[in-house]
Amino acid sequence: MNNLSIFSPGSSLTFRFFSLVVFTAVLFSSKQVYAENDQLKKLMQTNNCVACHQIDKRKYGPNFLEVAEKYKGDSTVLDKLATKIKAGGTGVWGEDYMPPQPQVSDADAKSMAQLILSLKP
């Protein structure tokens, strides 16, 4: 077991190098995800979505991780979601009704749809 530690003198150079690469990759990718989530949170605040939605907890509407999970791999859904963000609707997640959000610009609706779909559940 000892030779599996990057700090142990017995571990091979290849293994140390590999560990470093993996560590850097993980660090980089998690940073990227946080930056995207921050951007989404900001848009959710300025467009008043936070009254009903959170990224990782159910409030009135579905949380956005559930939304990302539901549409994973569906390449046709981006426009549909962007339209629904402005138009509202009901029936997909239950009986609750999402009112239209006319304050949202087309650009913001599209960015939010994109950011929601790229969340990693």
By the rule CB under 6 A, 99 interacts with ligand HEC: yes
As a whole number of angstroms, the distance between CA 40 and CA 71 comes to 18
By the rule CB under 6 A, 81 interacts with ligand HEC: yes
Nearer to ligand HEC, 31 or 100 (CB): 100
Q: Is 69 strand, coil or helix?
A: helix
CA distances (Å), origin 4, targets 7, 20, 23: 9, 13, 15
By the rule CB under 6 A, 61 interacts with ligand HEC: yes
Nearer to ligand HEC, 13 or 51 (CB): 51
Q: Is 61 left (phi over 0), alpha (psi -120 to 50) or beta?
A: beta
Interaction site with ligand HEC (CB under 6 A): 47-49, 51-53, 60-62, 67, 81, 84-85, 89-94, 96-99, 101, 104, 112, 116
